[in-house]
A and B are shown apart, each in its own frame.
Chain A
Amino acid sequence: MNPNNIYKPYLMRIEKVTDEAPGVKTFRLNFMNDVEKEYFAFRAGQFGEYSVFGEGESTFCIASSPTRKDYIECTFRQAGRVTSALARQEAGDVMGFRGPYGNVFPLEDWKGKNLLFIAGGIALPPMRCVIWNALDQRDWFKDVTVLYGARTVADLVYKNELDEWGGRTDMRLVTTVDPGGETPDWKGKIGFVPTVLEQMAPSYENTIAIVCGPPVMIKFTFPVLEKLGFNADRMYTTLENRMKCGIGKCGRCNVGPAYVCKDGPVFTYEQLRTFPEEY
């Protein structure tokens, strides 16, 4: 990051564009400036402001793991002005990136524990960085379980990686689609994520739960985890709020005394419960 002008972005070349799902793309980005690339480092959970010059900036997590040093990735859904402009970019185009911002998933604190990742729909990207980070340091952790659901089969993102994760013996992957979202050859579960979670009934003992999804999914998932015996300080999430500057100055993501971009976006359920419901 330019130490002086905190609003000046890095110039990034788009190396690869992957169509994940209808309206959802992943960009693999690389720094145009080798020195910047050399000095850049981030940790799982952090996000950035990605921009198209002339259209504006948009906030997404860094969806690749920090253990992969050659590139960074972001995944986004085309929804508004900037994401629509991003969706028109192609491999070889240059865009802007400011980051890394925000706090991190405390992987060191989770050493020796089981990890339970629960994600829904377009909220798998913020989890993907930490899932790969955990898998790349697999011996730190005990059991690794991923529960991922989307509305329909087409809406599942990172389909190649889901196949890969499904084939690994050192983790357990459970995928589900909402009732009615299955295709004839769908082999995964059918049901809403909180429902499937309840059926799976994972043990809370020595386990950290990391949840990310649309507000309605989180609202129903946390209570299930509590019912299963998880403590609020063992339940993590990452908040997607409206953010602009990324550095706690513009005021947009201010929730109670916290700024989601600075004090978050990673929060425990225990912390989240102290916030006013304005996120």
Chain B
Amino acid sequence: MQALHIKAKELLESGRVRVIIGYGEGSSGRVRPVFIRNVSEAEKLVWDNRCKQNLAVYLLKPEIKKIGMPAIVATPAAVMSIVQLISENQLKNGDLVALAIEDDSVTEISDDVSLETYVQSHPVIFPPSVKEEIRTIAEKSLQDRLKYWQDELSRCIKCYACRVACPLCYCERCITDVNQPQWVCVASHLQGNFEWHMNRAMHLAGRCIECGSCTLACPVGIPIGLITIEASRVVEKEFGQKPGLRCNAPSAMSTFKVEDVETFIK
């Protein structure tokens, strides 16, 4: 952690960045997102195994952008989000300094090449429990799978914490907020909840970098990330493209190759 403090102070003092987006001590033993703008506050930054939330979401928040050039304490998932956001023209080369931390040494990554090199050597590793959950659901019959998701999604209250926690949900006017036509029911009955999550899965297919922040954010304990992870895995399997690896990758779901097949559509 000390290396992080030193780096933070150096970045701020030199004026190279105006704000460091990182993790700080929160309440009840949690960590929370912090925005360090003064050298005197740099020691508030923490780095340990509680730091899981994807902070890349703040790179697109207008109030943060207004502060100026950011550095961001980036988990491997956050770096992947940044690469994906670059490939979608939401960020560009030089917009930020990512700080990757390993064994108390901090590496600055800011250009496309070093970001790509980093994600390729630091894949997002899933805890065995998540792999197990996915396997369990995938093994269910379609009927049982539907029952499982009906049970889970009946709890959804449409708070949209999953949406705001996701760096790739950056639409200024989300499809749920479009009312001409009203594509997705506003109400949080089961149908409205299915409409929202199915839409979200389709919009994140091929883009979800599997950080799990949505599941962390959900206040009612729905393992909502499993849906978008699965959607991305289908895209990877069928179209051979994994998100978050190349800064100039074409968008998987809005480009096609002639040899694409769609055997999974039944």
Residue numbers of A with Cβ under 8 A of B are: 56, 80-81, 84
Contacts and interface: CB of A to CB of B under 8 A. Distances in A.
A81 B179 CA distance: 6
Contacts of A56: 179
A56 B181 CA distance: 12
Q: Which of B180, B181, B182 has the most CB of A within 10 A?
A: B180
8 contacts: A56-B179, A80-B179, A80-B180, A81-B179, A81-B180, A81-B181, A81-B182, A84-B180
A84 B180 CA distance: 9
A250 to B, nearest CB: 13
Nearest to A84: B180
A114 B177 CA distance: 46
B173 to A, nearest CB: 13
A56 B180 CA distance: 12
Interface in B190-239: none
Q: Which of A56, A80, A81, A84 has the most CB of B within 10 A?
A: A81
Nearest to B182: A81
Nearest to B181: A81
A123 B182 CA distance: 28
Interface string B123-163: 00000000000000000000000000000000000000000
Interface residues of B, number: 4
Contacts of B182: 81
Contacts of B181: 81
A59 B253 CA distance: 40
Contacts of A84: 180
Sort A-B residue pairs by CB-CB distance and give the 8 closest, nearest first. A81-B179, A81-B180, A84-B180, A80-B180, A81-B182, A80-B179, A81-B181, A56-B179
A279 B34 CA distance: 31
B20 to A, nearest CB: 32
A73 to B, nearest CB: 25
Contacts of A81: 179-182
A59 to B, nearest CB: 15
A56 B185 CA distance: 13
A228 to B, nearest CB: 40
A81 B178 CA distance: 10
A56 B182 CA distance: 11
A87 to B, nearest CB: 12
Contacts of B180: 80-81, 84
Contacts of A80: 179-180
B153 to A, nearest CB: 25
A84 B182 CA distance: 13
B81 to A, nearest CB: 33
A217 B6 CA distance: 54
A81 B186 CA distance: 14
B257 to A, nearest CB: 39
A23 to B, nearest CB: 15
Given A81-B179, A81-B180, A81-B182, 5 more contacts: A56-B179, A80-B179, A80-B180, A81-B181, A84-B180
A134 B182 CA distance: 42
Nearest to A56: B179
A56 B179 CA distance: 10
Nearest to B180: A81
Nearest to B179: A81
B192 to A, nearest CB: 15
Contacts of B179: 56, 80-81
Interface string B163-192: 000000000000000011110000000000
A207 B131 CA distance: 76
A84 B181 CA distance: 11
B159 to A, nearest CB: 16
B178 to A, nearest CB: 9
A81 B180 CA distance: 6
A81 to B, nearest CB: 4
A81 B177 CA distance: 12
B7 to A, nearest CB: 41
A84 B179 CA distance: 11
Nearest to A82: B179
Interface in B22-41: none
A72 B37 CA distance: 59
A80 B181 CA distance: 10
A277 to B, nearest CB: 19
A53 to B, nearest CB: 14
Nearest to B178: A81
B46 to A, nearest CB: 36
A132 B71 CA distance: 63
A150 to B, nearest CB: 26
A274 B179 CA distance: 34
